């Protein structure tokens, strides 16, 4: 089956592209599109800008509704110019799962389960776009630091695109992540440090190796991939937005991307001015964004001795810290930290009460939801969306030792 059929049987030629320029997210400096960029001259993340008026004339909600699922259906909102550069592994529109037993009284609690994407996590969105644009711009070798799922996604998509990858992860990264990176074509190295230490190795290796640094927010296109979470959510809710979004926040690309998506959707008249409260969820063992939020700061300094078993949110310093904090504050939201114990309890409760297996980072959002209800920072009547960022099947679960001997009489009264 061809990529063209996967995207849309009606697509015969390269689809319209509405990118006008790139822009430094901090200074507003305009940068040319269709050229290779890392960080801006100011050392900050770069945003992609579009001719939104032309975009709005090129596609309607009704046309969009007829397309197959998966985030490539939002092609007018994305930067890839040539169809041949699309890299697809069979993406789907991830489901919204109501948690009716766990919801606040009178409200809605919904899990958006990103674990249904290729490689089992929402990292597929950002890395599919980053790899597609790398292909379009002629990059042949990529490198990145990872806590696990991002590396797996980059390895899979880059291998599919014929691009070499070198990936560095903390030495305590879950074994399943390390194995899937290598098995899907990446060359992976364990590092005796945290993700920021791995990032330093990637940065220092650019000149001697010639690889392109695909670290979080150090290139413009992972935001565009993660933006599709906001586009997809709005469409699934009938072109409305929820009252609250709880988002597990490490590098924060998805939170930034969704905020950008809502801005673009309002600009073309597909949604109104209402915005969800954006809630950045972290662990008490690694909460730089929460600390900066509570102190009223614009930037979040390095969090020393970071620790949490929710490894995806164990990011001691984020290059897009000010963008995360800006979205949180502009939305009327907040940043919140939950303990690892609360994460474990939330994961067990969601599984045993609702049958929904959350990853630890996704469970952190449910723990934060519960804590926020108690604190009064959200209302029980709110429609709240929790982002489960990866399949819970990748993570350890409690061992079960219960056993029956088929050769002995079975006392069914005890079963």
pTM of the full predicted structure?
A: 0.94
pLDDT at 3 (0 to 100):
37
pLDDT at 16 (0 to 100):
84
Same structural domain, 130 and 104: no
Asked whether residue 230 is assigned to any structural domain, the reply reads: yes
Q: Which domain holds residue 163?
A: 123-213
CATH of the domain at 185: 3.40.50.1100
H or E element, residue 134: helix 123-136
Asked whether residue 64 is assigned to any structural domain, the reply reads: yes
How far is it, in rounded angstroms, from Cα 28 to Cα 146?
29
How far is it, in rounded angstroms, from Cα 105 to Cα 161?
48
Same structural domain, 228 and 343: yes
How far is it, in rounded angstroms, from Cα 330 to Cα 209?
41
Same structural domain, 206 and 176: yes
Mean pLDDT, residues 245-270 taken together: 98
pLDDT at 4 (0 to 100):
39
Token duo for residue 80:
């890839």
395-413 pLDDT per residue, tens: 989 899 999 999 999 999 9
How far is it, in rounded angstroms, from Cα 222 to Cα 202?
17
Same structural domain, 237 and 298: yes
**Which pLDDT band holds residue 13 (cuts at 50, 70, 90)?**
low
State what percent of residues in the chain have pLDDT above 90: 94
150-183 pLDDT per residue, tens: 999 999 999 999 999 999 999 999 899 999 999 9
CB 186 within 8 A of CB 151: yes
113-144 pLDDT per residue, tens: 999 999 999 999 999 999 999 999 999 999 99
Mean pLDDT, residues 3-21 taken together: 62
Asked whether residue 410 is assigned to any structural domain, the reply reads: no
pLDDT at 20 (0 to 100):
97
Number of domains in the chain: 3
61-104 pLDDT per residue, tens: 999 999 999 999 999 999 999 999 999 999 999 999 999 999 98
């Amino acid at each position: 089956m061809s990529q063209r059929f996967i995207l849309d049987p009606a697509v015969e030629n390269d689809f319209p592209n509405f990118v006008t320029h790139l822009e430094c997210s901090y200074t507003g400096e305009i940068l040319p599109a269709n050229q290779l960029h890392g960080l801006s001259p100011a050392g900050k993340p770069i945003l992609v800008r579009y001719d939104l008026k032309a975009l709005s004339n090129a596609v309607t909600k009704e046309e969009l509704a007829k397309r197959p699922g998966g985030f490539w259906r939002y092609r007018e909102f994305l930067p890839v110019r040539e169809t041949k550069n699309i890299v697809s592994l069979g993406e789907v529109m991830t489901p919204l799962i109501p948690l009716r037993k766990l919801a606040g009284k009178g409200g809605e609690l919904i899990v958006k389960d990103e674990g249904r994407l290729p490689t089992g996590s929402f990292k597929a969105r950002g890395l599919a776009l980053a790899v597609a644009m790398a292909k379009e711009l002629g990059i042949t070798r990529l490198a990145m630091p990872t806590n696990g799922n991002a590396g797996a996604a980059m390895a899979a998509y880059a291998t599919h695109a014929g691009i070499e990858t070198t990936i560095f992860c903390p030495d305590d990264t879950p074994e399943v992540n390390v194995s899937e990176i290598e098995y899907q074509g990446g060359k992976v190295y364990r590092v005796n440090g945290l993700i920021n230490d791995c990032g330093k190795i990637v940065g220092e290796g650019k000149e001697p190796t010639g690889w392109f640094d695909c670290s979080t927010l150090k290139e413009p296109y992972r935001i565009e991939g993660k933006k599709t979470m906001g586009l997809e959510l709005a469409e699934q809710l009938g072109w409305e937005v929820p009252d609250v979004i709880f988002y597990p926040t490490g590098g924060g690309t998805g939170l930034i991307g969704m905020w950008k998506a809502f801005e673009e959707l309002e600009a073309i008249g597909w949604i109104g001015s209402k915005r969800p409260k954006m809630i950045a969820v972290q662990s008490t063992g690694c909460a730089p964004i929460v600390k900066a939020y509570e102190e009223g700061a614009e930037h979040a300094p390095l969090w020393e001795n970071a620790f949490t078993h929710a490894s995806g949110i164990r990011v001691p310093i984020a290059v897009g810290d000010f963008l995360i904090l800006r979205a949180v504050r502009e939305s009327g939201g907040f940043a919140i930290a939950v303990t690892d114990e609360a994460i474990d309890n939330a994961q067990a409760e969601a599984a045993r009460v609702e049958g929904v297996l959350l990853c630890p980072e996704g469970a952190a959002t449910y723990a934060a939801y519960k804590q926020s209800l108690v604190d009064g920072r959200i209302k029980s009547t709110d429609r709240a969306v929790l982002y489960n960022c990866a399949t819970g099947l990748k993570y350890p679960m409690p061992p079960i030792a219960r056993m029956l001997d088929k050769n002995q009489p079975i006392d069914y009264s005890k079963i």
